[in-house]
Structure 1
């Protein structure tokens, strides 16, 4: 354990957490960042980030790592472990349970992000990791020269479909609605890509097989008609990109949450609990992007500094 006490504990090492840790350290706060996994959060699993201002066509891994390392270079301590539980003490500070250890923090910035939302079809859990994936960058290479189905009609689904089109022989996009929910520019790219086919008003009803899936059943949401498509084992994959659910269970009792599960914060990232700030994709916001996560983190850490200056 790096330290048993700190001014600011930052939970999560994605763009929001890295930014918060950097701003906390630069404000002179003794700052510790807790990140058990790959630095950079979800963005580290993205092939190319083409909309971060000033850094066109940078890889997600490179960007996420750079953000995290910048914080460490500023003097932030890191703990590569989950925060198992968080409690607010009578004096208003917080106690974090880290395995068998404890860390006391005067303020918290929680930036746990969001996790991939499952599509909910029969067989999804059974074949996760064996035909069903939620990350094209992670698993796309397993399907080089093969067929892939992409579930979703938003920007993330379109981004991943374009990425997979450079690897797979054919990409079939299954869009539940009658149109995309993505910006026109990326939709134009989808329509111009020869090996991407789009099926609107369609979802996956079930996936079946033995060790690997061999049968996918598609459902037309308008007619309810089921269509069964059979393939050889290992010859196709299903990639799910239907959105993300905010990860906020750690702080659930200390925050208010919206219908979509996002944490409700003020503009300064504060929650209903003094000293607890939330940033990034876990909070309610109109746009979940790296640039907004970085902004959230900077605001949260600055707000934490101002809060600590008054107590």
Structure 2
């Protein structure tokens, strides 16, 4: 059972991160991948502020956990969540995001941000890299975990399933895949383009331990799911399937294909912030 005070703390952080994301989107002259950023907010917040052994001070520690944002277009969400942990300065993200030479590109770049483990952008690459990192750690007798955050759309890629097969064959219990199952792609709903269901059964067929989160935007459920990951000494990799809503928390974004990415006007921002406040208050009352 998740500790209520901890769940509330993480809810507060996710709410602040959503507000910061909307404000940054309004100040940025281009488009931001808001839909998928909003859908994975609870999971990312819990990972960086509760589950993973990471902090700015642990950057050079070989035993810190590793994280790969395979859905690299969600980079700004990761930057903002990490800023709340002390990795970055939020104002610098807002003032330089997407500019030539900025540390904060539209996809993560480890040459610009050495505290990142992998540069990502091309979909389907994160899990194969994660398999390599986890296999190396196991060979060295290291106890940390490797977490890989994927979008469900990218699991159409064959490289993901090759990696899933290899991860089980290599007995990588230190490998944790997380799927942001928001059921939307860039231009369509996932099940209209390629049938992924029965989704969890596919991972089970590859021999993975499967943890399903009925509502991946419910912080209590997310915390309980991440707390239930087996120890890294296990010999079976784990995948968490987090069922989420794209654009979660903002009325005009939720489940809207056009909000795969977009830009907020000042009026949009006020509506979004009002929506987020109402949703946040409702969640706290229901907890």
Structure possessing the higher relative contact order (Cα contacts under 8 Å, 6 or more residues apart): 2
TM-score, normalized by the shorter chain, greater than 0.5: no
User: Which is strand-richer, 1 or 2?
Assistant: 1
TM-score (norm 1): 0.26
TM-score (norm 2): 0.28
